[in-house]
Structure 1
Amino acid sequence: MRCQPHQKNQVYIWLKNKQFCLLCDETADGAAPICMACETDLPWLGDHCQTCALPLPSAGLTCGQCLKQPPAFERVIAPWLYSFPVDSLITRFKHNAKWPFGHLLGELLAQALQHRFEEDLPRPELLLPVPLATRRLRQRGFNQAAMLARWLGTRLDLPCDERSLSRVQDTGAQQTLKARERRNNLRDAFALTPGASFRGRRLALVDDVLTTGSTAQALARLLMNAGAARVDVYCLARTPKPGDAA
C-alpha cells in the first residue's frame, strides 16, 4: 500500500479547524478543504437522464438508450461532469495516489447523496465498490472505488462490502474502447464470491467515473440476478455523450 504523498498542501488533517483549499490554496470556508468560489466553479452536472445521468438539454427526461434498453441499475447519482478540474482531480487521485483529492470529492459526493436521501432517493442497505482485477490492484496499490466507498460509508453511516464482488477476468483498460467493445470486454468479467447473499436488498455500486455504463450494467445485472431488490450507482462524475461538449 502506498503512503500518502508529502508534497506541500497535499497532506492535511481532515478534522482540523482551519483548512486550505486544495485547488487555490486560499482559506476554506468550512470543514472540507475547498473554498466556496472553487466549489461553485466545479463542473456541476445539470439536466440529465433520470436513469443513467447522461447530460441532456432539458430536465426530467430519459435518454434514448435507457428507453430502448433499460439498464439493470435503477439510477446513477453523479454530482459532476467529467471535465476540468474534476477530471484532473480524479486522475491524480486514481493514477498518482493523491488521496486528499479523492477524499475531498468523496466528501462532496456524500453531501450530495445525503441531500438526495432527504428528498426522494431510497437509502441503500449496502455499498459495493467496483472491484479491480488482482493484477491491476497489485500495480496501483489500492482500489480507488473501495476508498470512495469507505469514505461514503463513514460519512453516511452505511456498511461497505469489499469482498462479495470480484473481478475474475482482467479485461484491460476500458478507456479506449467503444460502447459495444466495452460490453463485450466485460462479458463474464465479474462474479459473486461464495456465500454472498443479496436477495431482497437495496444496493449501491460505487465507482469514480461512469462513461458508457457498461461496468455498472454488468455488475447490476449480476446483483439483480442474485435477487437484489434495487441497484443504484454512485460515482463522482459522468462523461457526456461522445461528440457533445463537456
Structure 2
Amino acid sequence: MRNVTVAPSAWPWRRAWHERLPGRCAICRAWPTRTVCDDCAARFASPVPRCRRCALPLAAPAGTATSGDACCDQCLRQPPPLDRVVACCDYTWPWPEHIGRFKFQGEPGLATSIASLMRSTPWAEALLESAQVVLPMPLAPGRLRERGFNQALELARRLAPPSRLDAHLLVRVRETPAQSQLDRKARLANLQGAFAVAPKHANRLKGAQVLLVDDVMTSGASLHAAALTLRAAGAESVSALVFARTELPAEAG
C-alpha cells in the first residue's frame, strides 16, 4: 500500500489529541515533558538584545535583552519597511534540525512547541495583541503542493485567534528561483511582483496594523517584499514575528 502523508491541518481533531500527549524533549530527550522542555528552552532560546527593525543581535549591556527599543546602524541609515521584527532565537543548533523536522515531516508537536516559544519572546505578546490582521507568509503554489502544508500558517493558527488570522489575504503569485545563492540586492530583485493582495480581502487592510508570521528570517527580503505590498494596499503598519533569525549575511557585513 502506498504511504500517504497527511498535512497537519487536515485532521484538526487528530492534531489536538496528539498535541496533548506527553512526549520526549526533541533536543535533550528528557521524558515525560513537552516537545521542547523548559531547560532546553532556557538554554537555547533565551532572550538577547536585538534590533527592533531587523532582529539581528545587538551588543548591549547585561539586563537589556528585553528593552526592545534599539536599532542597528544599518536600520538607522536605511529603515526597512517593517516597523518591528521579533525573533525568538538565532538560527543555530539545535534549531535548524528542529525546524527542518517541522517543515518537511509536518510533526504537529513541533509546531506547538515553536509557537509557544515564539509567544514567550519579549514583545511577541504585545505584537499579537495590537495586530488587527495576522498573516502567515504564503508559499509559492508549487512549494505548497510539494510540502502539503504551509508551516507559517500552522504557526499563525497557534498564535492568533481565528477572527484576526487571514490565510488568504496575502498570496504569492509568482514562483521565484532559489534565494540561497543570491545576495540581498539580488534577492529583493528576485521577489519583485512575487506577492499580491487578494482583491476580495483588500478592504481588511485599510489603516490596519498587520503582523506577518514566519518560521525563519534570513536576509529579510521576502518579509520586506511582503510588507511593501501590504503598505501599498493600505496597511498602516507592518511588523513580523519569526521563530529564528539567521546571522548577518556576509555581503551586508
When normalised by structure 1's length, the TM-score is 0.84
8 A Cα contact 2:44 2:89, kept in partner: yes
Paired residues of 2:18 and 2:109 also in contact (CA < 8 A): no
Deviations 1:142-179 (A, max 9, x none): 1111111111125xx76210111111110032223211
Could you tell me the percent identity over the aligned residues?
A: 35
Decide whether aligned partners of structure 1 residues 115 and 78 sit closer, same or farther in structure 2, where only a CA change above 3 A counts: closer
* CA distance, structure 2, for counterparts of residue 130 and residue 163 of structure 1: 10
Cα contact 1:169–1:190 (8 A) shared by 2? yes
Could you tell me which residue of structure 2 aligns to residue 181 of structure 1? 186
Aligned partner of residue 18 in structure 2, secondary structure:
coil
Per-residue deviation, 1:19: 4.5
C-alpha distance in 2 between matches for 1:102 and 1:145: 9
For residues 92 and 69 of structure 1, what CA distance do their matches in structure 2 show? 35
Q: How many residues align?
A: 232
CA contact (8 A) 1:148 1:207 kept: yes
Q: CA deviation at 1:97?
A: 2.5
- When normalised by structure 2's length, the TM-score is 0.82
Aligned position for 1:26: 30
For 1:49, the equivalent position in structure 2 comes to 51
Given candidates 75, 86, 96, the residue that maps to 1:77 is 86
How far, CA to CA, are the matches of 1:22 and 1:110 in structure 2?
Answer: 19
* RMSD, matched Cα: 2.6
Partner of 2:13 in structure 1?
A: none
CA separation of 1:153 and 1:113: change in aligned 2, threshold 3 A: farther
Deviations 1:102-125 (A, max 9, x none): 2211122123367642xx886201
Residue 3 (structure 1) aligned with residue 3 (structure 2): no
Letter in 2 for 1:35: C
State the SS of the aligned residue for 1:204. strand
Please tell me whether the aligned partners of residues 28 and 35 of structure 1 are also in contact (alpha carbons under 8 angstroms): no
d(CA) in 2 for partners of 1:192 and 1:134?
15
Q: Decide which structure has greater helix share.
A: 2
| C-alpha distance in structure 2 between counterparts of 1:46 and 1:158, whole Å | 32
Secondary structure of 1:95's aligned partner: helix
Shift of 1:221: 1.0
Structure 2, unaligned stretches of length 5 or more? 9-15
Query: Secondary structure of 1:78's partner?
Result: strand
Q: Does 1:149 align with 2:156?
A: yes
Would you say the 8 A contact 1:45–1:55 is kept in 2?
no
Answer whether contact 2:56 2:248 (CA < 8 A) is retained: yes
Name 1:163's counterpart in structure 2. 168
Which consecutive residues of structure 1, in runs of 5 or more, have no partner in the other structure? Answer: 6-10
Counterpart CA distance in 1 for 2:74 and 2:32 is 41
Question: Which residue matches 1:190?
Answer: 195
Cα distance between partner residues in 1 of 2:230 and 2:79: 16
Query: In structure 2, how many angstroms separate the alpha carbons of the residues matched to 1:214 and 1:104?
Result: 26
1:206 is the counterpart of 2:208:
no
- Per-residue deviation, residues 5-29 of structure 1 (Å, max 9, x unmatched): 9xxxxx973234x443232332356
